[in-house]
Structure 1
Amino acid sequence: MDHSRLHRPFDDPAALARRCTLPAPGDVQLWLVHLPSQAGCEPLHTALLMNAEMQKVNAKATAALRQAALASRATLRMVLGGLLGIPASEVAFTSGHHGKPALAACHRSRIEFNLSHSGDYSVIAVTDGQAVGVDIEQVRPVPEWREIAASHFSPRERRVLEAGGPDAFFALWTGKEALIKATGDGLVDDLPSFDSAAEPGASRWEACTTDATGIRRWSLCTLDVPPGYAGCLAIEGALGQLQFAPGP
């Protein structure tokens, strides 16, 4: 993918809405947003968010983090508003027992979504009724990678990490995060209890988790993200096509 085409502002909700189409069952629509390109869109983006959302944005520690959170949340609203056929400012959210965001029941929609941002990029994933999680991370040195692995990774994940060294850390971390976010059921309480690692060289793979309903089966895949980043997607059931949505 030509990532340079992402370097444009999301400053026209109507134009973006015209590009929003609900993916087919099993497919995932992805929106990759270059956050620095959203500078100058703050008045528009602020107008789309509710007061509670702005409080969370303003609680970020730095101006860069506040701008990233604002642009990410506003773009999510524009995408969901386009899919629902309503103004972005009218999208209503709720959250699950463990805090995973979802569309409010008033929309009577099957749409599932997830959002992640790191560094200069955010990514939004949308499905038609399948639980989904996505993670993007800016690759950076992690001197304590072995210590993190010991407390967060399963035995198999630790073996994969030892074989791949520190360069494998973010591939494993984004897979773990994407799966945790997809389940939305508090697996964060026991991270080493489940395995999300791919076989060496695989770009798509499967994983299982267990909850009160029984065994849940997931499809994971690495994402085509810009150099210097790692990304992963997890979706419940079989994964069809990935559709990177065009910019505005």
Structure 2
Amino acid sequence: MFKSERVFDDNLLLSYFDDGYISDRIAIKDSEIHVWFLDIGNYDEYHMKSLFDILTLDEKAKMSHYVHVADQKRFLVGHSMLRILLSRYLAREPDDIILLNSKHGKLYMPQSNVSFNISHSGNRVALAFVKEKKIGVDIERMNSLDDYSQIAKNFFLPPESERICAQTDAAKGMEKFYEIWTVKEAFVKALGHGLSRSLKSFEVLEQGTINDYTNNSRYNYYTKQLSDNYLCSLVVV
């Protein structure tokens, strides 16, 4: 899978790939966004062992804290492939990549102009990269939710929950819910605020914009629906 398209008002070029496009050296320009979609089901036991060897001791310890095998696999593929991709972008070995956590838990690489973010759900992992900016990505499998409208009323602004409830049927309402939810998650991840940021402090508008009421600023977002009922949203700030 490979596709490129112009997005956002500042005319950034968004390209998304799968792991079949990983090469020894990958270039990313200041005007580009790269998003990699990985399917955990494509990695057999041999590949998993190779990926495990790439993790640091600290990462292996964090992986072992997950009780469920599916969660361990998501962590393994996400963090090892993050190291591999950063090594290709920066022309370094994977074990030379130093990753730190911000005070709100966002991974970053010190003294690097490449910003990245990671998200996973179900069998999918999304890894997003950009230069000289901050980026957030969120991918979700759109599982059926009977109470999505109530969740929206509890966590979203009234205009957002009203848009969800105004959809013509439950399936479209749930899809709109996941769209707004993933955009909100991607936005707070881009800023590095995590759970410290109220989801009601900014509004997800139509036509791909976010209104941040804390500083009266607007940002752009992009949403893509994938096969197997996955939805991914991306925000650059």
> Which aligned segments of 4 or more residues in structure 1 are displaced greater than 6 angstroms?
none
Q: 1:20 is matched by which residue type in structure 2?
A: I
Are 1:46 and 2:52 counterparts?
A: yes
Are 1:177 and 2:157 counterparts?
A: no
Which consecutive residues of structure 1, in runs of 5 or more, have no partner in the other structure?
237-248
- Cα shift at 1:210: 5.5
Q: Secondary structure at the match of 1:191?
A: coil
Residue 131 of structure 1 contacts residue 235 of structure 1 at CA under 8 Å; is this kept in 2? yes
Q: 2:88 is matched by which residue type in structure 1?
A: G
Q: Number of matched residues? A: 218
Pairing of 1:1-248 with structure 2 (within 5 A): 6=18, 16-22=22-28, 24-40=29-45, 41-104=47-110, 108-164=111-167, 165-186=173-194, 188-197=196-205, 199=206, 202=207, 205-209=208-212, 214-236=215-237
2:12: which partner in 1?
A: none
- Counterparts of 1:145 and 1:88 in 2: how far apart (Å)? 41
Residue 26 of structure 1 contacts residue 130 of structure 1 at CA under 8 Å; is this kept in 2? no
Which consecutive residues of structure 2, in runs of 5 or more, have no partner in the other structure?
4-16, 168-172
* Worse-matched range after superposition: 116-125 or 186-195: 186-195
Cα distance, 1:154–1:187 mapped onto 2, change above 3 Å: farther
- Cα shift at 1:224: 4.7
- Counterparts of 2:231 and 2:194 in 1: how far apart (Å)? 23
- Cα shift at 1:193: 2.0
Residue 118 of structure 1 contacts residue 136 of structure 1 at CA under 8 Å; is this kept in 2? yes
Cα distance, 1:57–1:216 mapped onto 2, change above 3 Å: farther
More strand by share: 2
Q: 2:78 is matched by which residue type in structure 1?
A: S
What are the superposed Cα offsets for residues 61-98 of structure 1, whole Å, 9 maximum, x if unpaired? 21122112101111111000111111112210112231
What are the superposed Cα offsets for residues 131-179 of structure 1, whole Å, 9 maximum, x if unpaired? 1100110111111212211221112211111112223221111111111
What are the superposed Cα offsets for residues 205-240 of structure 1, whole Å, 9 maximum, x if unpaired? 1213255xx45542101125223111110011xxxx
TM-score (norm 1): 0.80
What are the superposed Cα offsets for residues 169-204 of structure 1, whole Å, 9 maximum, x if unpaired? 21111111111111112464421121124x2xx4xx
Cα distance, 1:151–1:224 mapped onto 2, change above 3 Å: closer
Q: Secondary structure at the match of 1:190?
A: coil
- Counterparts of 2:194 and 2:143 in 1: how far apart (Å)? 27
Residue 220 of structure 1 contacts residue 235 of structure 1 at CA under 8 Å; is this kept in 2? yes
**What fraction of aligned residue pairs are identical, expressed as a percent?**
25
Residue 17 of structure 1 contacts residue 83 of structure 1 at CA under 8 Å; is this kept in 2? no
- Counterparts of 1:221 and 1:144 in 2: how far apart (Å)? 25
